[in-house]
Structure 1
Amino acid sequence: MSRRFDLIVFDWDGTLSDSTGRIVDAMQDAISELGLPQRQNHEIATLIGLGLWEALAVLFPEHSREQLEPQLLAYQRRRGPAGFEQAPLFPQVEATLSQLAGEGVTLAVATGKGRQGLETALDASGLRHFFQATRTVDEAPSKPAPDMLEELLWETDTPAERALMIGDSEYDLAMARNARVASVGVLCGVHDAQTLRRCEPLGLLPHVAELPAWLDSTRYR
């Protein structure tokens, strides 16, 4: 049976991994450690999906990257990768990826994480073998710039019209729109349906586990 998409690209945090609370806690810890003004949890949560520096620029526009970078790098060295507990996957994520890969779909990741953070998450989750390509903010500009998706299209030799982006934030879906790639939003992460609809996704799902059934229902559209 023919399929509509050859490449499916997933965001990580809030899409595959139930990590919103842990990211907010880690950011609050960093803000406190760096002696920056306090920010509310919801202010931080809505920025998940952006690169770290892009999020900090929104939270603290009065501080330049040149001011913050030495302190933040020193903090990250003190904590180390072991200092950040890995968040659990959402239910049925592994089974969903296994089903899609078994149907011959190429799978990839485009994330606001840095490379070290993604590598740690891939190992901890056991999902590494499903993904043929990955991009992080260490290799390309942050979402919603199209670069991560465009590079994944090139690496996998996939036309934009044969690719689909899955994400929980408007940054994910806006990146897809900017790359002229179709998207589907999931409602298990940081942004609500009204926010995601502004980016004109093909559909909104409760979580990734619903994706195979959605793909079957849209196979011939």
Structure 2
Amino acid sequence: MSKQFDLIIFDWDGTLVDSIDWIVRCLQHAAVECGCQVPDKESAREIIGLSIERAMETLFPGIDGSTQEQLIRLYSQQFFSKQFGREDLFEGVYDMLGNFKQDGYKLAVATGKKNAGLVEAMTSTGVVEMFDITRSADQTASKPNPLMIDEIVAAMNVSKARTLMVGDSVHDLQMARNAGVAAIAVACGAHRCEVLRQHQPLHCLPRTSALMGMI
């Protein structure tokens, strides 16, 4: 069967790695330590996928610059107190990536994480060699701006018609639409299928590894 796509771009948190609950806890911890109103779980999940700066502005509207810096610092300290490993990848993801690589797909990551954090996460989960290129929010524009995808597509010399975005949040799907590329949603992360389907992905899958055999 001929391939429909040449390039698959994955989000990281909530798509490849089971980290959403930990991110929520770290955001809530930072709010407590800063004396800010603690966001509920749903509100915290809503901003996952954005750059950390944009996430904090959305969760804590009206905060001044120094408070934002303190929130980001406390969040980062808490987040990196946990060592992620291959066992934190969603079930089947490691083998899925290996199979796609073997089949000749170009693989990329587009994430709201900072690049240093992504490098550490990819190294600790053992997937660095799987990917051809990555883009992080501190290297380019935050989702849902399409610049991450635009830069990846240009660097990989692949047409947008042959590019697929895979993500667990509305921010991923909005970015894909803004970039003019196809998208598949996965419901194992930040948002449920009923929310994700509103952004018209090709499919909404219960787990990322279900992508195998579909494309």
Per the TM alignment, residue 2 of structure 1 is displaced from its structure 2 partner at its CA by 2.4
Q: Which moved more, 1:87-96 or 1:160-169?
A: 87-96
In the alignment, is the contact (CA less than 8 A) between 2:165 and 2:181 conserved in 1?
A: yes
In the alignment, is the contact (CA less than 8 A) between 2:22 and 2:79 conserved in 1?
A: no
Aligned ranges for residues 72-87 of structure 1 at < 5 Å?
72=71, 74-75=73-74, 79=77, 82-86=80-84
Gaps of 5+ in 1: 216-221
Partner of 1:218: none
Partner of 1:67: 66
In 2, distance between residues paired with 1:203 and 1:187? Answer: 10
In the alignment, is the contact (CA less than 8 A) between 2:15 and 2:208 conserved in 1?
A: yes
SS in structure 2 of the partner of residue 213 of structure 1: coil
Partner of 1:155: 155
Aligned ranges for residues 32-111 of structure 1 at < 5 Å?
32-64=32-64, 66-72=65-71, 74-75=73-74, 79=77, 82-86=80-84, 88-111=88-111
TM-score by length of 1: 0.91
Kindly report the root-mean-square deviation, in angstroms, between the aligned alpha carbons of the 2 structures: 1.7
Per the TM alignment, residue 82 of structure 1 is displaced from its structure 2 partner at its CA by 4.6
Partner of 1:171: 171
Are the structure 2 counterparts of residues 109 and 145 from structure 1 closer, same or farther at C-alpha, using a change threshold of 3 Å? same
In 2, distance between residues paired with 1:118 and 1:174? Answer: 21
In 2, distance between residues paired with 1:123 and 1:81? Answer: 16
In 2, distance between residues paired with 1:54 and 1:82? Answer: 20
Q: Summarize deviations over 1:86-110 as a string: whole Å, max 9, x none.
A: 2711001010001101010000000
In the alignment, is the contact (CA less than 8 A) between 1:161 and 1:182 conserved in 2?
A: yes
**Percentage of pairs with the same residue:** 38
Partner of 1:22: 22
In the alignment, is the contact (CA less than 8 A) between 2:56 and 2:71 conserved in 1?
A: no
In the alignment, is the contact (CA less than 8 A) between 1:81 and 1:120 conserved in 2?
A: no
SS in structure 1 of the partner of residue 213 of structure 2: helix
SS in structure 1 of the partner of residue 49 of structure 2: coil
In 2, distance between residues paired with 1:74 and 1:101? Answer: 36
In the alignment, is the contact (CA less than 8 A) between 1:49 and 1:111 conserved in 2?
A: yes
In 1, distance between residues paired with 2:155 and 2:14? Answer: 25
Are the structure 2 counterparts of residues 69 and 58 from structure 1 closer, same or farther at C-alpha, using a change threshold of 3 Å? closer
In 2, distance between residues paired with 1:58 and 1:27? Answer: 12
In the alignment, is the contact (CA less than 8 A) between 1:144 and 1:175 conserved in 2?
A: yes
Per the TM alignment, residue 68 of structure 1 is displaced from its structure 2 partner at its CA by 2.5
In the alignment, is the contact (CA less than 8 A) between 1:81 and 1:117 conserved in 2?
A: no
Per the TM alignment, residue 63 of structure 1 is displaced from its structure 2 partner at its CA by 0.9
In the alignment, is the contact (CA less than 8 A) between 2:166 and 2:172 conserved in 1?
A: yes
Which AA in structure 2 matches 1:84? K
Which AA in structure 1 matches 2:212? P
Q: Which moved more, 1:17-26 or 1:84-93?
A: 84-93
Partner of 1:138: 138
Partner of 1:190: 190
Gaps of 5+ in 2: none
Aligned length: 213
